[in-house]
Copies of this chain bind each other. A is one copy, B any other.
């Protein structure tokens, strides 16, 4: 990719990939922007803009070739070689994520999990070996782990993020409600579940929701 795409565009491309996979499995050969848009929950123009950005390859009569488009999108957003992921924090959410991910993203595999509770280390949960957090740096370096998922209590978030970053991690998915201050070359994506619930609660009380 010549230019870096915006986070929203990247997000939508993952939606399209999902939809296209479904279409391909059901034997669809072509799809028009309108149909793709409806399945992904966005507008048709938006779809065309996004696809334009990765070198639009639609036919002016039949729309887009499902297989061809899918491969193009995968080529843009999926890693060529698998990326290794570490999970820090084996609370309920952390354990849920361990079972949630592996089946879906074979190219992003959680290869190590960490917790400060010694009772949790040494075990294997859902195929993922759990270690004491003291081993974090050595194992992150050893496995060449480039992504981190943080599901620790808020107070420990910044510290864990710094340790991950200094051990070579380039991107962090942060489930804690704390903002992470890290070098600019580490990308951070926040998922603040409580904030999201607060938003839902707020708008559910408004009468005139236009979103």
CB of A34 closer than 8 Å to a CB of B: no
- Cα A38 to Cα B72 in complex, Å, equals 40
Residues B171 and A204 in contact, CB atoms below 8 Å apart: yes
Residues A10 and B199 in contact, CB atoms below 8 Å apart: yes
Given contacts A79-B205, A100-B93, contact A200 B147 (CB under 8 A): yes
Residues B191 and A196 in contact, CB atoms below 8 Å apart: yes
Given contacts A14-B194, A197-B173, A200-B171, contact A184 B205 (CB under 8 A): no
Output the nearest chain B residue to A148 by Cβ-Cβ distance: B200
In whole Å, how far is A166's beta carbon from the nearest beta carbon of chain B? 15
Residues B99 and A92 in contact, CB atoms below 8 Å apart: yes
Flag the segment in A58-66, A101-109, A111-119, A136-144 that touches B. A101-109
Set of chain B residues within 8 Å of A180, measured between Cβ atoms: 41
In whole Å, how far is A161's beta carbon from the nearest beta carbon of chain B? 12
- Cα A186 to Cα B81 in complex, Å, equals 41
- Cα A206 to Cα B186 in complex, Å, equals 10
Set of chain B residues within 8 Å of A193, measured between Cβ atoms: 97, 100, 191
- Cα A99 to Cα B94 in complex, Å, equals 12
Set of chain B residues within 8 Å of A184, measured between Cβ atoms: 209-211
CB of A56 closer than 8 Å to a CB of B: no
Residues A196 and B189 in contact, CB atoms below 8 Å apart: yes
Residues B187 and A173 in contact, CB atoms below 8 Å apart: no
Set of chain B residues within 8 Å of A11, measured between Cβ atoms: 192, 195, 198-199
- Name A residues whose Cβ lies closer than 8 Å to a Cβ of B: 4, 7, 10-11, 14-15, 18, 39-42, 77-79, 83, 85, 91-93, 95-97, 99-101, 104-105, 108, 146-147, 149, 169-173, 177, 179-181, 184-189, 191-206, 208-211
Q: Can you name 17 A-B pairs with beta carbons within 8 Å?
A: A7-B199, A10-B198, A15-B177, A15-B179, A15-B195, A79-B205, A85-B197, A92-B95, A93-B97, A108-B198, A147-B197, A147-B200, A147-B204, A172-B200, A185-B209, A187-B199, A189-B199
